[in-house]
């Protein structure tokens, strides 16, 4: 077996071992059965919840919030990033705030958002957007900054207009970085939506986890957590595959 294959086999082995532990530990009675249910029961419970439609509304609400917050982060983050890259002085002023942005526990402001926007999807979307957008802004600035000067010179030697310089040289050169911003933003959006639903909401998968926990419906709680995990992993793998397809041959 080659080195790469051994690494891959071990990686999958770790996942399987972890899943097996979750199955075995509760069955052997090593933990309190109220604290952890075996994996097979989580899967079965999730299946039941999906089949009888209990989760449908929650899933719809959560997906809508994620898509809305993610789309909002992209359409605001990109132009903001480009603007910040162009406005040298503004950027110097904002630099320390941007670099320390992710040190702020933004969820502390969630009650404020609820007070402003009411208890619905709005505060959830706003907080998820606020958490995701800065990643796109930062990666856009980084990507545009990293464009090799020689590529810009090629454009200038062809006397390209500023618009074409941007659309044909700066932007395509920066897209691998910007895509990294999208990937980060996707994760932050999911976390933002689920976490704020968990804290305070009237609907959503995150809310369902919290509600089940408060009502000692441990199997329901784990079923929903499992669903969130599967969704997050699938989203991330999908984006990674897309990245490889788009930029894999560009080095």
Partner 1 sequence: MVLTVEHLSKTFGDVEAVRDVSLAVDEGEFVSIVGPSGCGKSTLMEIVGGLIEPTAGRIDVSGMPGIVFQQESAFPWRTVVENVAFGLEMTGVGKAERLTRARDMIELVGLGGFEDRYPTELSGGMRQRVAIARTLVMEPKIILMDEPFGALDEQTRLILGEELSRIREATNATVLFITHSFDEALLLSDRIVVMTARPGTIKQVVVNPLPRPRDSTIVSDPEFGRLSGELWELLREESMRALAGERGR
Binding site for partner 1 (CB under 8 A): 148, 150-151, 153-154, 156-160, 164, 168-169, 172-173, 175, 247, 249-251
Rounded to the nearest whole angstrom, what is the least distance from the CB of residue 160 to partner 1 in the complex?
6
- DSSP 8-class letter at 166: I
Rounded to the nearest whole angstrom, what is the least distance from the CB of residue 250 to partner 1 in the complex?
5
Q: Which is nearer to partner 1, 122 or 152 (CB)?
A: 152
Length of the chain as a residue count: 251
**Calpha distance 249→51 (Å, rounded):** 43
Rounded to the nearest whole angstrom, what is the least distance from the CB of residue 153 to partner 1 in the complex?
6
Of the candidates 226, 250, 229, 205, the one whose C-alpha atom is nearest the C-alpha of residue 58 is 205
Q: Which is nearer to partner 1, 121 or 180 (CB)?
A: 180
Six token digits for residue 106: 């933004």
Rounded to the nearest whole angstrom, what is the least distance from the CB of residue 151 to partner 1 in the complex?
6
Q: Which is nearer to partner 1, 47 or 247 (CB)?
A: 247
Rounded to the nearest whole angstrom, what is the least distance from the CB of residue 85 to partner 1 in the complex?
19
How far is the CA of 45 from the CAs of 18, 23, 56, in angstroms? Answer: 20, 14, 14
Distance of CA 79 to the CA centre of its chain: 20
**Calpha distance 84→242 (Å, rounded):** 27
Task: Give phi and psi for 231, each to the nearest 5.
Answer: -65, -45
Q: Which is nearer to partner 1, 170 or 207 (CB)?
A: 170
Q: Angle 245-246-251 (CA atoms, 0-180°, nearest 5)? A: 95
Rounded to the nearest whole angstrom, what is the least distance from the CB of residue 163 to partner 1 in the complex?
12
Q: Which is nearer to partner 1, 5 or 159 (CB)?
A: 159
Rounded to the nearest whole angstrom, what is the least distance from the CB of residue 77 to partner 1 in the complex?
21
- DSSP 8-class letter at 106: G
3-class state of residue 30 by DSSP? coil
Count CB neighbours of 183 within 10 A: 18
Q: Which is nearer to partner 1, 82 or 194 (CB)?
A: 82
How far is the CA of 4 from the CAs of 154, 168, 248, in angstroms? Answer: 39, 37, 18
Q: Which is nearer to partner 1, 36 or 142 (CB)?
A: 142
Six token digits for residue 55: 């989760």
């Amino acid at each position: 077996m080659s080195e790469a294959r051994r690494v891959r086999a071990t990686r999958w082995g770790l996942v399987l071992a972890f899943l097996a532990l979750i199955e075995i530990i509760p069955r052997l009675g090593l933990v309190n059965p109220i604290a952890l249910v075996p994996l097979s029961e989580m899967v079965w419970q999730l299946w039941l919840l999906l089949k009888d439609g209990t989760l449908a509304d929650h899933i719809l609400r959560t997906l809508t919030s994620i898509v809305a917050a993610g789309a909002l982060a992209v359409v605001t983050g990109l132009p903001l990033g480009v603007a910040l890259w162009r406005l040298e002085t503004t950027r110097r002023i904002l630099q320390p705030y941007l670099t320390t942005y992710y040190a702020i526990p933004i969820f502390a402001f969630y009650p404020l958002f609820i007070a402003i926007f009411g208890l619905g999807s709005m505060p959830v979307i706003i907080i998820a957007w606020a958490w995701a957008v800065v990643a796109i802004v930062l990666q856009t600035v980084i990507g545009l900054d990293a464009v090799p000067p020689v590529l810009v010179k090629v454009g200038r030697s062809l006397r390209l207009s500023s618009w074409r310089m941007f659309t044909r040289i700066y932007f395509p050169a920066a897209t691998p970085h910007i895509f990294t911003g999208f990937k980060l933003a996707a994760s932050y959006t999911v976390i933002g939506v689920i976490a704020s639903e968990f804290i305070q909401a009237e609907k959503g998968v995150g809310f369902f986890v919290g509600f089940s926990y408060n009502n000692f419906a441990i199997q329901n709680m784990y079923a929903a957590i499992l669903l969130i995990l599967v969704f997050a992993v699938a989203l991330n793998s999908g984006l990674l595959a897309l990245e490889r397809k788009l930029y894999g041959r560009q080095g």
